[in-house]
Amino acid sequence: MSPSRSQGKLYIVGIGPGGTEHLTKKAEKVLLSSEYVIGNGTYLDQIAIVIKGAKVIRSGMGGEIERAKKAVELSHDHVVSIVSGGDANVYGMAGIVLEVAQKEGDIDIEIIPGVTAVSAAASLLGAPIVNDFAVISLSDLLTPMDVIEKRFNSAAEADFVIAVYNPKSRNRKENFGRAIEIIKKYRNNDTPVGVVKSATREGETVIVTTLGKIIEYNDIIDMSTLVLIGNSESRLWNNRIITPRGYQRKYEY
Amino acid sequence: MSPSRSQGKLYIVGIGPGGTEHLTKKAEKVLLSSEYVIGNGTYLDQIAIVIKGAKVIRSGMGGEIERAKKAVELSHDHVVSIVSGGDANVYGMAGIVLEVAQKEGDIDIEIIPGVTAVSAAASLLGAPIVNDFAVISLSDLLTPMDVIEKRFNSAAEADFVIAVYNPKSRNRKENFGRAIEIIKKYRNNDTPVGVVKSATREGETVIVTTLGKIIEYNDIIDMSTLVLIGNSESRLWNNRIITPRGYQRKYEY
């Protein structure tokens, strides 16, 4: 911290997939020490017990820029945490907060990583992402759909396991079907697919299916769902997905 | 748990990037409740304070199959944790443990997700992975090098942020340079690149550089290093990397 800075500090905190049990000890400590905690209401509710001593500023989904500005402003003079579901980086608040900080003057910022939604979903599905994987959001609000489609093509062709964030929203129901059609150009219908809704939260739903049958579950999929598509070596076992790391190519066991 | 099963249980626990502060509360609870804790010595040392009441079985790096077999065997009758650095899925132990369990009979398995090395590295670099990203390991011990090269080509061409795990080992020093040459076919020399060694552990080193200059740091890069390569929109600010999420395409701020 430079000597000209005030005593303020801004933490950008990844709170993990839900509840408080997947919060890291560092994230908990930082939240407990914060004067202000800012975030989307859904995430704040998940950690209500940890932030009950702080001044809490709730905001709606979609108000990320205003939220980031408020956090930067307050952190000139106060210890502030702005929370992000999952990790602070992965489609999280670290980006917009640093973008705002770059425009509004340097402040003391520390980013606290968290358990991502993809790790949480994978843990419920077994071992789907033990090899190289690609993470793609299907939200075309901030990324053009042609860029997203190119990424699905490339990731499917190069045999990455694919984690799909934001597969659907109320106003955007078609993109998911298009992504599945792209992947089918490169992978068999029996490729394992996992669908995890509200991982480690109330209403948690875990479905293990295949690329050929995933569209049957189309109505279940929403913004709180993560879809994991196996690679060419992934297999089903006991309602779980295993993507081998490659030991079978070198060893007998 | 099926009624025929014994009282044993196997937890596959992602312990996060290092130390105990990035351990989740759930991981800590599970480790504290385990009779046996099995893992690579380096990881066990990181959580020594949490596992001092357990019977600890240390194994060397590379002994994953034996370690998985031992864990599965013990968990027929005991509560066992097998630990994985970072997350249990991402190049972690979940894969080989389920592969062994599939062969050696079903046991009661629960996977506890953790903070990945890529989230830890990203938090130290700023906001490099706020958009779609690909995770690729450069270890060709278990994946053929031509598959790895194809993945670098595809990920670079489709403008994914790229996280490189296992960029180098004692017997494999050339792959990293080859990967960088592939990426340079698609991205400018001024593309931001972050190098993070031993994130959140003793000896932590963070370097922010560019694609044109990364090879100057070649000697620093080893197995405990993670390299993050920005996409076409990533930029440098204050020795940090920001990959914009795309708000600038829709909003003024």
The pLDDT of B243-250, averaged and rounded, is 83
User: Using the beta-carbon criterion (under 8 Å), do B119 and A113 form an inter-chain contact?
Assistant: yes
Describe the strand order of the beta sheet including A240-242 as a list of residue ranges.
A126-127, A240-242, A235-237
pLDDT, tens digit, 9 for 90 and up, residues B136-152: 999 988 899 999 999 99
State whether residue A91 sits within 8 Å of chain B by CB.
yes
- State residue B194 phi and psi, 5-degree precision: -115, 140
pLDDT of residue A6: 61
pLDDT, one tens digit per residue, over A167-210 is 997 778 899 999 999 999 999 999 999 999 999 999 999 999 99
Length of chain B: 253
B12 → chain A, closest CA residue: A123
Reply yes or no on whether the pLDDT at A4 is more than 50.
no
Contact A89 B245 (CB under 8 A): no
Q: Residue A213's pLDDT is what? A: 98
Return the residue of B nearest to A25 by Cα: B21
Average pLDDT over residues A51-68: 90
Give pTM, 2 decimals.
0.95
Task: Verify whether the Cβ–Cβ distance B25 to A26 is below 8 Å.
Answer: no
In this predicted structure, the answer to whether residue B3 has a pLDDT above a threshold of 50 is no
For residues A83-92, average pLDDT: 97
Residue B39 predicted with pLDDT over 90: yes
**pLDDT tens profile B54-78:** 999 998 766 899 999 999 999 999 9
Q: Any idea of the CA torsion for B247, A176, B162, B150, to the nearest 10 degrees?
A: -150
First to last CA, chain A: 53
The order of strands in the sheet holding B205-210 is: A205-210, A192-197, A225-229, A161-165, A133-137, B133-137, B161-165, B225-229, B192-197, B205-210
How far are the Cα atoms of A3, A115, B40 from residue B81, in angstroms, in the given order?
A: 46, 19, 12
Residue from the list B113, B135, B242 with its beta carbon closest to the beta carbon of A120? B113
Among A174, A234, A178, A245, CA closest to A210: A234
For residue A60, pLDDT over 80 is answered with no
pLDDT in tens, B175-218: 999 999 999 999 999 999 999 999 999 999 999 999 999 999 99
Q: Which residue of B has its CA nearest to A248?
A: B142
